[in-house]
Structure formats: C-alpha cells, structure tokens
Amino acid sequence: MASKVIVAGVGMVPFSKPGASDSYDHLGAAAIRLALADAGLDYGQVQQAYAGYVYGDSTAGQLAIYKVGMSGIPVVNVNNNCSTGSTALYLARQAIEHGIAECALAVGFEQMAPGAIVEKYTDRPSPFTRFEALCGELVDEELPLALRYFGGAGREHMQRYGTRMDTFAAIRAKASRHAANNPLALFRKVVSTEEVMNDVPVWPGVMTRMMACPPTCGGAAAILVSADFARRHGIDTRVAIAAQAMTTDRPGTFEDRSMIELVGAGMTREAAQAVYNQAGIGPDDIDVCELHDCFAHNELITYEGLGLCPVGEGERFVMDGDNTYGGAVVTNPSGGLLSKGHPLGATGLAQCYELTRQLRGTAGPTQVEGARLGLQHNLGLGGACVVTLYERQ
C-alpha cells in the first residue's frame, strides 16, 4: 500500500448568508492562509493547487489563489456539483500519493445567491436530463429541483420502511444541538423535534423548511503533504488519509426506478465499501462521521448507504441515539450542512476541517472523546460521491 497522505493543515472561514460576506476570491484566499498557518508552511512550498467552486467563471481558482501568492504552480479548477470540495481533495491526495507533488493545496469556495438552487444555463443540454425524466415519473410534485429529489427519496423511505416524518425532524434537532457548540456554524439555535415539525411546510407530510440546508457563502482549504515532506519540515503528522474512493453513477441509478437510488445511495454504498476494503476496517470501527446532510432525509439514507446501520433501520438508528454523542457513531458534530449551510465548493473541505480537528483532539466543545477514525461523505447529484477515511496515527 502507498504511504499515507498527511493532512498538514486545514482552514475554514465561517459560513455566512448570501450577500453578507466577502466575495468568493476573498473567502478562498482567507481559507488558504488559515490552512498554511495551521501547517506552518509558506505558500511558496505548495507545488500544486486544486480549486473547487460551482458558481464562478473559468479560472476563478487562480483569482483566489493569486491573492495568496503567484509562484507559477499548476492550478486546476474543479466543478463537481455538491461534491466539488472533496473532489479537489481527492485530486490533491492522488498527486501526493503518486509522487507528483510533495505538498498540495485543495481549496473550495462559493459565493451563492439566496433561494433554491437552479440550473444556470437553459440554452444547452442539462446534465440532469436523464435524472429529470425519471424523477418526473416518480414524483409528481412541482417543487424546486433539490427538494423534489431528496424529499422524494425521503418519502420513498417512509413508504417502504414506515419511517416517520418526525424522525427526520429529530435529525434536524440533533444537528442543532451539535451546532450550538460550533462557533463556525451559521445556525446555532437549539430547536426541538416538535419545533422542526411545526416549521413552515415545504412538502406537506414529507418535509418542513428546517429539514433543508440553506445556501451559504464560505471557504475552506486543506494542505496535504507526503510523510517524507512532513518529517523534513517538522509538520504535525497526527492525521492521515487512510483510504479514499470516488464513484459516479452506474446504470442502476436509473434502472432501479427508485428515488433513493437516484439521489446517490448506490454511489455511497460503493465508495464506502471501497474505503473499508482499502483500510481493512468496517463501519463499526468509525468513531465520528461528517456526512452530506443537504436534507435531513439524506442524512438518514446515508446512514444506511455507509453501512452505519442496516438498510431500512435508519429510523431505529436515530431513535436509539446512535447518531450522536454516547451512541455508535457521532454524525456531523459540526452541525452539518443543516446548521452550517451548503456553499457547494467549500462543503467537502469544511468536512475535512472538522474531522482533522476531531482526530487531533483539538475540536473543543464539539470533540468526540477518543476519536481515532473519522469518515467523510460528500455527494453531488449528476453525479459524484467521495468517501474519505481519516486516521489518527
């Protein structure tokens, strides 16, 4: 097996509501500076950079990175929908693992508009054409795109396994309790399951407003280095990427005629199993997990996709408290997307930020006691899924 890649430094700027923050280039640059400072490195030591964003013109990564330094290194711009940040991380990890570079930067940032996500280009084929055709057959509600997909998947879980709507509300309430201890979370007010249930309905009987993550602006970054580079420069080697996998859709996404499969459950299962196989572990070994809770419904579906509980038993996992402190796996100790918001390009690297701090034992009030293995799951429709295993060495 190749030498493990060291997470040398991480940085994250607090996420903010659209219009209430700096522009994307300042957010990205600020995150890079924080990650460099955390690693104790200068920008001149970075040999390659991968910049993730969705809502920006070509070479926006250079604009953000040039504010930190202009050293002539390769800068690769990455757009992979909601998994953009972790895709940048995946590419940086590959560069280190295969000896292309010894020190690589992954940065993600986003400057989002208020309201539901919409497609920006209407004069050319949509990458969601095939997804939309099947979604239109399975869901007859007129709703914003993401809400229709993930709400439809949640409704299918309710119909198939008897999952109750208030279970999704309990997931949102759990997120609020975790976020209350995270100064970087945008929404830190603790809410009860009942308050979530009584919030504005966006799909009666399926979802209320608080069960959906909001669009936000933000930036996050990570510096990855080889073990040799870390030793030569006296870098903290406590946290390494032990395994990582990236998947895209297979024919079953469409052939199974299932909303749960359409929103990436198959990609999640395959990526998670690949990671467990690479590391020689199982889901029972995971201590802490940051997963893609764009909707409370997707958090529950992802428990099952990652193997944290059997398929169909997500509700029991929630009701038994196995998704929080004192349970089997602490999920989203940061508060997740439901409490931080979801700046698409930054989300995956914000997850990396939280898990790196957890395994270092420096997460403060969100700390999971004795955390040794942390799992990251970042999903984008269209589609791509990245699962990363972090290990305390």
Is the Cβ–Cβ distance between 106 and 88 less than 8 Å? yes
> Where is 128: in which H helix or E strand?
none
Write the pLDDT tens digit of every residue in 99-134.
999 999 999 999 998 877 777 788 899 999 999 999
Write the pLDDT tens digit of every residue in 200-234.
999 999 999 999 999 899 999 999 999 999 999 99
Residue 358 has what DSSP assignment?
H
pLDDT band at 179 (very low <50, low <70, confident <90, very high): very high
Q: Tell me the two tokens of residue 218.
A: 């933000």
Chain Cα centroid distance, residue 379: 7
**Which SS3 state, helix, strand or coil, does residue 47 take?**
coil
Query: What's the mean per-residue pLDDT of the chain?
Result: 96
Is the Cβ–Cβ distance between 223 and 46 less than 8 Å? yes
Write the pLDDT tens digit of every residue in 345-360.
999 999 999 999 999 9
Check whether 248 has a pLDDT greater than 50: yes
Answer positive or negative: Cα dihedral of 88, 94, 96, 100. Answer: negative
How much is the average pLDDT of 313-320? 98
* β-strands 330-331, 288-290 pairing: parallel
* β-strands 217-225, 103-110 pairing: antiparallel
Q: What angle do CA 196, 336, 76 make, to 5 degrees?
A: 140
How much is the average pLDDT of 243-250? 98
In sequence order, the 6+-apart residues with CB closer than 8 A to the CB of 149 are 131, 135, 139, 259, 262, 263, 381
